[in-house]
């Protein structure tokens, strides 16, 4: 009878180890997928060029501003908006003289909006 009990415990241990191994594998594989990134369909230089054209076309006064950043945004509220879908480049113009609310943001989507 002792032999039967030790075999059952052994099987439970083997099953438990197998289950934990599978759980760890699934967790790591899911995490690794979220780390994969796609190359932006539009380069940062192209996004900045489009932003500059947009500023000229819409006659937006940026004479007292400078480009402070060009960031690629893969998530957030603007990735699914009426302006565009999916990731976008965010071009930020800031005032030369610091002030609250002096920024201008231009979003450049891959579909050229």
Instruction: Report percent pLDDT > 70 for the chain.
Output: 64
pTM value is: 0.61
CA distance 59 to 53: 10
Q: What is the pLDDT at residue 94? A: 92
8: pLDDT strictly greater than 60: no
CA distance 96 to 68: 10
For 45-81, what is each residue's pLDDT tens digit? Answer: 999 999 999 999 999 999 999 999 999 988 777 677 7
The sign one gets for the Cα dihedral 42, 45, 50, 51 is: positive
Mean pLDDT of all residues in the chain?
77
4: pLDDT strictly greater than 60: no
**Edge-to-edge strands, sheet with 104-109:** 65-73, 88-95, 104-109
Q: What is the pLDDT at residue 9? A: 59
């Amino acid at each position: 009878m002792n032999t039967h009990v030790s075999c059952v415990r052994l099987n439970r241990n083997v099953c438990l180890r197998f289950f934990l191994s599978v759980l760890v594998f699934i967790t790591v594989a899911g995490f690794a997928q979220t780390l994969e990134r796609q190359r932006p369909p539009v380069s940062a230089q192209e996004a900045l060029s489009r932003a500059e054209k947009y500023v000229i076309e819409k006659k937006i006064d940026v004479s007292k501003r400078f480009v402070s950043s060009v960031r690629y945004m893969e998530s957030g509220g603007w990735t699914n908006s009426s302006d565009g879908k999916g990731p976008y480049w965010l071009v930020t113009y800031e005032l030369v003289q610091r002030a609250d609310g002096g920024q201008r943001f231009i979003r450049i989507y891959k579909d050229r909006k």
